[in-house]
Structure 1
């Protein structure tokens, strides 16, 4: 696994919740803050997005916006003053009941694909944590070609129910999340993790740890893997990642164990071996230190959270 894939997989829960919205006239809807990442893709027409504490953003055909931290926001047919939005905006779920999805598409001026990715935010990878409140990806000729292709494929699947659509749609939506994050990493000039992954030595050490987390890594072995001296790796890795290589490895092993506890039924002993711990006791000690709870209690709590996640697709 690469770092970006691991960062997403560590927090991703279930299938995305999504709706295809067709609307016309004057409208204004609000989504309150939530644990997850929201997204909107404009398929036809245009709209405005006003995030809590932010400035209005105009969205046109082909534009995509990701709200990685579940920021509360308003979407509307026109720019809305925050004070007016507070009074005028209809709760999103209530607004959905007003939209008639059965009418002919030509009768509507705006068509949007909106939804949420369910995320476990208890221990988010720093790559995900540093994403801005709004990732705005405008449709521009020659840019974000993979993202544009994913949006086109999604629109095609939504236009007509075809064999395999029930599998194609959620997987395309997961691909959309990857491409939105990848596009942000390509375009940002301020993100620490894009810089970390563009630094050859840091990126090589990260790839090694993520590809083989159970290996008996040491600072010397990681430096050899990166092709630099041990002091050079320590300096560059700590500068870009915010912690030394072995401290990051310890943290990542525990996060990976948490993901396995959440997503599998494997025993603690099996998980310990897979993430590089010599015994279940050693893993349990490290896990409790990081999460403030035992692996068993974490697994029970995670099962309760995942059981409450639903993914209505309309």
Structure 2
């Protein structure tokens, strides 16, 4: 199984939103903190990303976004977007469906024009996957000729569907938004893995650890042993356990338990499966053992968790 896709699926909720909008200088938008993640693509003109300072720190320098640049705001913190760092910001107020209102395509004569492709994803941050938790506050992918062709293709397809909706667009746009999110994260991961010796970028680049992660995600109900997982990458039990723990941040079987409970929580929120079926899919042959493990992890019984979701 694809670990990155699984990590996204574990956190995704609701339906993503997107818009294609024109802004005329001067303009500035303040986006409030949220549970989701947002992205912006500059199709034409320029924009400035304004991120707040952490407590006690100096505010980071504004980031200039040029034509073709893509930025993903990963952790739901507040931020601003403007035509100039000094432009005043107006609070963005989402519509009832969670999308952002689109301003009219008109502006002052000779005003500088910026064409943006924007979107938002709803995420459940109560149990973030560590692969996504280690992302920086924002991921900026500058435009470069010939670089990231798959990401550029996703941007162009999404932009075309939003600019000229056709029959089927209601189904195509959400799929393209998912494609764009995964393409953004994969582009970041490929760039980071060459520079990091620990963390999830390094874990997914390590043949032995990556093989074990694919196995755990592909069949989480299997009664895996550390020796069996190490053998997938040609390592001894001890060598594999050390490498996995260093890169992933927790021992192999501790990660397996965490992932099983994550799957269980997702099934309880999304499906009406009997608890026995949820237990089996989560790797537990006994409903009692599953309920005990679930309460230890979540602090509540599976049935109460489902009722509260």
Of 274, 284, 293, the match for 1:286: 293
Q: Deviations over 1:67-105 (max 9, x none)?
A: 11111001101123xxxx7xx3111128966821489xx
SS in 2 for 1:17: strand
Q: How many Å separate the matches in 2 of 1:154 and 1:97? A: 18
Q: Are 1:13 and 2:33 matched, yes or no?
A: no
Bigger helix share: 1
Residue 31 of structure 2 aligns with which residue?
31
Encode CA deviations 1:160-207: one digit per residue, 9 max, x unaligned.
Answer: 121211111111011110011101101123461010011111111111
1:7-156 alignment to 2 at 5 Å?
7-53=7-53, 54-80=60-86, 88-93=88-93, 99-101=103-105, 109-156=113-160
Residue pair 2:36, 2:120 contacting (<8 A) in 1 also: yes
Q: CA deviation at 1:119?
A: 0.3
- Over the residues paired in the alignment, what is the CA RMSD in angstroms? 2.0
Summarize the Cα distance change of 1:77–1:290 in structure 2 as closer, same or farther, 3 Å threshold: same
The answer as to 2:175 corresponding to 1:171 is: yes
1:311 alignment partner in structure 2: none
Q: Could you tell me the TM-score, scaled by structure 2's length?
A: 0.90
Contact in 1 for aligned 2:74/2:135 (Cα 8 Å): yes
Are 2:38 and 2:72, in contact at CA under 8 Å, matched by a contact in 1?
yes
Work out the CA distance in 2 between the residues paired with 1:98 and 1:214.
46
Q: Which residue number corresponds to residue 310 of structure 1?
A: none
In the alignment, structure 2 segments of 5+ residues that lack a partner are 54-59
Unaligned runs of 5+ in 1: 303-314
Aligned residues: 294
| Mapping of residues 296-307 of structure 1, within 5 Å | 296-302=303-309
Q: Is the 8 A contact 2:7 2:129 kept in 1?
A: yes
Q: Is the 8 A contact 2:208 2:233 kept in 1?
A: yes
Give distance in 2, aligned partners of 1:94 and 1:157.
22
| Bigger RCO (CA 8 Å, 6+ sep) | 1
Q: Which residue matches 2:4? A: 4
Contact 1:197–1:203, Cα closer than 8 Å, also in 2: yes
Regions of 4+ moved over 4 Å: 94-98
Aligned residues of 1:50 and 1:57 also touching (Cα < 8 A): yes
